[in-house]
Amino acid sequence: MATDIKDTAHTVEAAAVMSLLPARPRLLALGEPTHGQDALLDLRNELFRQLVEQEGYRTIALESDCMMGLVVDDHVTSGTGTLDEVMEHGISHGWGTSAANRELVRWMRAYNDGRPASEQLRFAGFDGPLEITGAASPRQALIALHGYLSARVDADLLPCTAGTLDRLLGTDERWTNPAAMMDPARSVGQSAEARELRLLADDLAALLDEQAPYLITATSRDDWDRARLYGRTATGLLRYHYWMADTSQARMTRLVGVRDQMMAHNLLAVAARGPALVHAHNGHLQRQKSTMRMGGMPLEWWSAGALVSAQLGEGYAFVATALGTIRHQGVDTPPPDTVEGLLYALPEDRCVIDAPRLATALSDERPAPRVSPWFGYSPLDPSHLADSDGIVFVKDVPRR
């Protein structure tokens, strides 16, 4: 058995990952089992550099606010803003403080300097403007979408004025109240104003599509793509707020499902631009349904990776990351009867594993699922092995 597993292990590099796949995917998704560990992000950066230099990849998409990501993309393509400003305002969830994320942005800007637009690297956030404690106001996306359209199409075609949107939106604090996550009655998502905004957002997004032949030629393709992002974000956020105000048993399942649906729509837009490396939690990128417990309730929904894989087929590839220890978080040597324990016995500090071959080699063994003592780390589900194209295994994650 050890020989079979060792035969599936390769050095972590782009060529080894590509050798596991039938063709170059439009989206190569690299998952991580925990957030905030720069050692894993350093590995991601290294892999992205190799994909750029060897495989022609030009975009990286991270699990970060899609609207904030425009700040990073402007910086890496045209030098807008200082690196400090971009890290503070361009990456969500507090991850702008990561040294590895900072190095990624710095390297992308340096790579792009002096290159024509067609050869430049691009950055995308593909998460919605969402946090665990709530969701952003739809104001930014709605006003930006309306502004793009009002500057380019006949005013008679618009379903409303900017003033109407402003009146219906009210203060942003109404939308971002953190109490609404636990108490649906505190959400404005099913108010009369929110219901009207959903109809107007839908009409604005539909008008964008109706006018596509003109708008694509009248403005730059980047401006058109951004307007479509505004439309997706506005309608997605209003849908998310609607379900925040729901009182049924389906509330939390719908919320996590809407979030991954927003992610999937953003990833499909990224894929349309060309080959991209995607980096997020394994649970968002896997092909199987995602599961979690929240408030004692089990939740199950289709991940962004499952949704995208269903549409792109071989154009989507998923490589999960598994790890041995995060000792500074109390995650010690994995039990030998788990997948992580079997991989921990290999001599390499990090390696790429052929996941389907490993699943076949372990078909009679049925490894036990690993149990994490720390809530911030999600062990590999052994039943998902065959549905991954590969596994990046990191033996020990040091404190940084």
pLDDT in tens, 22-80: 999 999 999 999 999 999 999 999 999 999 999 999 999 999 999 999 999 999 999 99
User: Are the CB atoms for 266 and 229 separated by under 8 Å?
Assistant: yes
φ and ψ of 272, to 5 deg? -65, -20
Q: Name the residue among 68, 48, 50 with its Cα closest to residue 59.
A: 48
Quote the CA–CA distance of 28 and 55 in Å, as a whole number: 11
The predicted pLDDT at position 3 comes to 45
φ and ψ of 233, to 5 deg? -70, -45
Sign of CA dihedral 387, 390, 395, 400: negative
Sign of CA dihedral 223, 314, 123, 114: negative
The residue count of the chain comes to 400
The residue assigned the tokens 């994320």 is 101
User: Are the CB atoms for 247 and 270 separated by under 8 Å?
Assistant: no
Q: Which two tokens stand for residue 278?
A: 């995607």
Q: Which two tokens stand for residue 356?
A: 């389907």
Strand 276-281 relative to strand 27-32: parallel, antiparallel, unpaired?
Answer: parallel
The predicted pLDDT at position 281 comes to 97
Kind and range of the H or E element at 312? helix 304-312
- What is this structure's pTM? 0.96
3-state secondary structure of 134: strand
The domain spans of the chain are 1-133+249-396, 134-248
Exposure on the CB side of residue 56, measured as CA atoms within 13 A: 7
Q: Which CATH number is 1-133+249-396's, of 3.40.50.11550, 3.40.50.10320, 3.40.50.720, 3.40.50.2000?
A: 3.40.50.11550
Give the relative orientation of helices 192-210 and 162-169 as an angle to the nearest 10 degrees. Answer: 150
pLDDT in tens, 262-271: 999 999 999 9
The predicted pLDDT at position 10 comes to 83
Listed in sequence order, the residues at least 6 apart from 109 whose beta carbon sits closer than 8 Å to its beta carbon are 75, 76, 79, 83
Question: How many angstroms separate the Cα of 245 from the Cα of each of 184, 273, 352?
Answer: 4, 36, 44
b/e map 360-391, b = 16+ CB within 10 Å: ebbeeeebeebebeeeebbbbbbebbebbbbb
Q: With a cut of 50, which residues of the chain have pLDDT below it?
A: 1-3
Q: Name the residue among 373, 378, 182 with its Cα closest to residue 292.
A: 378
